[in-house]
Structure 1
Amino acid sequence: MITVDRLTVSYGSFTAVDDVSFVAQPGRVTGFLGPNGAGKSTTMRVMVGLTPPTSGQVTIGGLRYHDIPNPGRHVGSLLDASAQHAGRTGREILTIGAQTMGLPKSRVDEMLALVGLTDAEAKRRLRNYSLGMKQRLGIAHALLGDPSVLILDEPANGLDPAGIRWMRGLLKGYADRGGTVLLSSHLLHEVEQIADEMILIGHGRIVAQGDKKSLLAHGDGAATTLVTSLDNAALGAALTGGGHAVEPLGEGLKVQATPEEVGRAALAAGVVLTDLRSGGAGLEDLFLELTSATAREAVPGVTPTPTGGIPA
């Protein structure tokens, strides 16, 4: 378990992290989301002892990172996939890690196989790795000591679609076995698919937290559903009559309603559905609205306001 308790990190007059508190629980994937520069990486650097807090603290299993004996056996982290000696091979990097943690050499082969790096790739020097290969090696290093906690900063960077799907399955399986996963990203869609809980941060402060359903329940944005049927006109009329906003989209409709509400309307109207799925835009719109004050690009239709958002 990771406990962040009133954490503040300041650099002179600039406050990168401002009185942040949250808990990442065992058996769950916690998504740590926010625009670039929101304070995610700084918070994670404090977790693993790389940045001292100005006030507050972070504990892992009740201990500060520096107080954990042989921390690599308890906490695996990936904060920068390029932060290894560029002249060493992938196998050498993992071997040094294994020796430092007191692990058998066989663990290196296990991790290389787990992340899909071949023997030939393991013999290449890090400077010759693609970003995706560096990410895979970084994940292997984080998992090397069979830790109970994983702290990952933007682990999907550089991975192709197959690699991203592989990573999702790996992290979800890790959490299902009781591990604690804190996953930082500015890519809402990727984290949303595996996160049990999401923490949204902007300007160094938490603006919202909870699972997808609870976030939308507290937000102003409605859930969005994409639907296709054998009679879109009749379905659209039934949904509009029920007070839901409907607009054509491709071969179907985009509806401001939950999939359950759309399904009930279709049943009442006697319309056969051929496709029904969550549009996901409700959460994305909420995220953009809550973090708009820190985004580099203006968000259409959103007027930036002082960070406050939803009470955590």
Structure 2
Amino acid sequence: MITVDQLTVSYGDFTAVDDISFIAQPGRVTGFLGPNGAGKSTSMRVMVGLTPPTRGQVTIGGLRYHDIPNPARHVGSLLDASAQHAGRTGREILTIGALTMGLPKTRVDEMLELVGLTDAESGRRLRNYSLGMKQRLGIAHALLGDPSVLILDEPANGLDPAGIRWMRGLLKGYADRGGTVLLSSHLLHEVEQIADEMILIGRGKIVARGDKATLLAGANTTAVTMATSLDNGALGNALTAAGHGVEPAGAGLKILATTEQVGRVALAAGVVLTDLRTGGAGLEDLFLELTSSTAREAVPGMAPVPTSGGIPA
């Protein structure tokens, strides 16, 4: 379990994280979502002891990171997949991690197989890795100590579609076995398919939280449906007569009504529907609306803090 309690991180007059509190529960994937510069990475650096909080605290299993014995055996992290020695091979990086944690070298082979890095790839030096390969190696390093908690910052960055699907299955299976997963991203579609709960953050403040259904239910957005039929004219007339707003949209119609309402009108009018789908505001639209006034590309004058692909012992 990760408990974030009134966490604030300030740099002079600038507040990167502004009094946030939430809990990431075991057996669940918690999505930590926000635009670039929202405070996600700063919060995660506090979690693993790389950045001191100005106020508040983060505990993992009731302890601050620095108070956990051999912390990398309990908390696996991926904050920057490139933050390893570029001249070392992937196998060397994992071997050093295993020795530091007191693990057998056989664990290295297990992790390489798990993340799909071949013997040839693991023998390459990190400088010759693609971004996707670095991400796979970083995930292997995070899982090396068989931790109960995973803290991952943009883990899908650089992965191809097959790699992203693999990562989703890996993390979902990890949570299903009782692990705690905190997954940061600025791209909702990467996270919403596996996240049990989502924390939306903008300019250092939490702007919304809950599962997908709860977030959308609280948005109070107007239902919009996209429909195509064998007779769009007749369908449009029937919908207008039923009091629904209708306008042309490509080869079909955009209707201010739910899919159920459109289906019932089409049935009553004897019109065959060939396509019927929700076209209203989705989670990404809600996210953009909630964070539009807080999005920023970068914080002037702030240099990135060096981090490790795993947790230093």
Fold shared by both chains (TM-score > 0.5): yes
TM-score bracket for the superposition, by shorter chain length: 0.7 to 0.9
Question: What's the CA shift string for 1:237-293, capped at 9, x where partnerless?
Answer: 555555555554444445555555555555555555544555574222211111111
User: Residues 106 and 247 from structure 1, CA distance in 2 versus in 1: closer, same or farther, beyond 3 angstroms?
Assistant: farther
* Structure-2 residue corresponding to 1:33: 33
User: Residues 240 and 37 from structure 1, CA distance in 2 versus in 1: closer, same or farther, beyond 3 angstroms?
Assistant: farther
| Alpha-carbon distance between aligned partners in 1 of 2:87 and 2:182, rounded to the nearest angstrom | 30
Equivalent residues of 1:73, 1:145 under 8 A apart: yes
Give the letter for the 1:110 counterpart.
E
| Alpha-carbon distance between aligned partners in 2 of 1:152 and 1:15, rounded to the nearest angstrom | 23
Tell which has more relative contact order, 1 or 2 (C-alpha 8 A, sep 6+): 2
- Residue 87 of structure 2 aligns to a residue whose secondary structure is coil
- Please state how far the C-alpha of 1:236 moved relative to its aligned partner: 4.7
| Alpha-carbon distance between aligned partners in 1 of 2:200 and 2:20, rounded to the nearest angstrom | 11
Equivalent residues of 1:32, 1:185 under 8 A apart: yes
- Residue 282 of structure 2 aligns to a residue whose secondary structure is helix
| Alpha-carbon distance between aligned partners in 2 of 1:238 and 1:109, rounded to the nearest angstrom | 64
The reply to whether residue 115 of structure 1 matches residue 115 of structure 2 is yes
Give the letter for the 1:195 counterpart.
A
* Structure-2 residue corresponding to 1:127: 127
| Alpha-carbon distance between aligned partners in 2 of 1:122 and 1:197, rounded to the nearest angstrom | 35
| Alpha-carbon distance between aligned partners in 2 of 1:163 and 1:53, rounded to the nearest angstrom | 34
Q: Comparing 272-281 with 146-155, which one deviates more in the overlay?
A: 272-281
Equivalent residues of 2:38, 2:296 under 8 A apart: no
Please, which runs of 5 or more residues in structure 1 have no aligned partner? 298-312
Please, which runs of 5 or more residues in structure 2 have no aligned partner? 298-313
Equivalent residues of 1:223, 1:282 under 8 A apart: no
User: Residues 267 and 192 from structure 1, CA distance in 2 versus in 1: closer, same or farther, beyond 3 angstroms?
Assistant: farther
* Structure-2 residue corresponding to 1:138: 138
| Alpha-carbon distance between aligned partners in 1 of 2:280 and 2:114, rounded to the nearest angstrom | 31
The reply to whether residue 48 of structure 1 matches residue 61 of structure 2 is no
Query: Sequence identity of aligned pairs in percent?
Result: 87
Equivalent residues of 1:221, 1:283 under 8 A apart: no
* Structure-1 residue corresponding to 2:307: none
RMSD of equivalent CA atoms: 2.3
* Structure-2 residue corresponding to 1:219: 219
Question: What's the CA shift string for 1:199-257, capped at 9, x where partnerless?
Answer: 11011000100111111211143455555444444555555555555554444445555
| Alpha-carbon distance between aligned partners in 1 of 2:242 and 2:196, rounded to the nearest angstrom | 32
* Structure-2 residue corresponding to 1:292: 292
Equivalent residues of 1:222, 1:282 under 8 A apart: no
Give the letter for the 1:83 counterpart.
A
Equivalent residues of 2:219, 2:286 under 8 A apart: yes
- Residue 206 of structure 2 aligns to a residue whose secondary structure is strand
Question: Over alpha carbons, which structure has the higher Rg?
Answer: 2
Equivalent residues of 2:203, 2:295 under 8 A apart: no
Runs of 4+ in 1 over 2 A off after TM superposition: 220-282
Give the letter for the 1:23 counterpart.
I
- Please state how far the C-alpha of 1:184 moved relative to its aligned partner: 0.4
- Residue 157 of structure 1 aligns to a residue whose secondary structure is coil
| Alpha-carbon distance between aligned partners in 2 of 1:60 and 1:67, rounded to the nearest angstrom | 10
Q: Comparing 101-110 with 15-24, which one deviates more in the overlay?
A: 101-110
